[in-house]
Amino acid sequence: MTAGPSPDHHPSTRPSGPLAPFGARLRRAMDERGPLCVGIDPHASLLADWGLNDDVAGLARFTRTVVEVLGEHVAVFKPQSAFFERFGSRGLAVLETAVVEARERGALVLMDAKRGDIGSTMAAYAETYLHPDSPLFSDALTVSPYLGYGSLKPAADLARESGAGLFVLALTSNPEGAEVQRAVREDGRTLAATMLGHLAAENAGAEPLGSFGAVVGATLGDLSTFDLAINGPLLAPGIGAQGATPADLPTVFGAAAENVLPSVSRGVLKHGPDAAGLRAAADRFTEEVRTALDQAP
């Protein structure tokens, strides 16, 4: 395995033709491949567990192995941009290649970058990840709405135009998130409920699924006080190493469970670099999630 692409290697991820809306493509991928998102999170400790150095060569080998082994099996990959950015331009070149190769294998790519800003800066972030001509063009992007939901308009507009999607931070699994997300507005609604309401409006009338999703932690327990019926996907991190299990999903998501996309990272990746181990772990989580969601109300 080589050290990976050089800094000036910028593969194109431009779609060959107009894309169907992200929500429709995601629904099809989840139905055909199973409702599982595998995070690509090359922590230094995980590279070490794989017997790799914490350098660009180790990053490239790790990432390529995950994509090659699972790219034709899982519905969605979620690369965490920060773990590539820390290596500078060479790390981003690895990420660009991974995005291309994952999508060539039929997996959707959800870029976990959690971008959030205003005006022309938000527009530039959107162009980075959601414009079809960008080397980092992804099927969807995680975004932060806590400069006001309206600040996301450049990303929402470009997502619609390009057939991409957004996943908006709503009820995250980190304990610190509650002080913002569960703060109560003057109208009596929490900020999280407000964000969910905006997403429901974005997805109104979309079939079979809207393209504007929410990030809702699988570790949060019963969320029946929140209306999760946004007609869009619900990205559910926290399965595996963070303590949640597929069996928790019906309790957390209730009637909205059919649109849940659970995200697993270390729970699958710790079984590498053995290809059979990676594939077996992904298949096991997929089947456990299917079984759990079939039991949802």
Q: Which residues are catalytic?
A: 114
- In terms of phi and psi (left: phi > 0; alpha: psi -120 to 50; beta: otherwise), the region of 207 is beta
Rounded alpha-carbon distances, angstroms, from residue 25 to 151, 163, 190: 26, 9, 31
- In terms of phi and psi (left: phi > 0; alpha: psi -120 to 50; beta: otherwise), the region of 41 is beta
Angle 10-11-16 (CA atoms, 0-180°, nearest 5)? 145
SS3 166: strand
Task: Indicate the length of the chain as a whole number.
Answer: 297
Site of tokens 């194109």 = 12
* Ramachandran angles phi, psi of 112, nearest 5°: -95, 90
SS3 244: strand
Sort 273 into a burial class: Cβ within 10 Å, 0-12 / 13-18 / 19+: middle
Nearest Cα residue to 111 out of 83, 88, 86: 83
* Ramachandran angles phi, psi of 221, nearest 5°: 75, -155
Instruction: Report the distance separating Cα 9 and Cα 4, nearest Å.
Output: 10
- The pair of structure tokens assigned to 131 is 């414009």
- Pairing, β 140-143 against β 37-40: unpaired
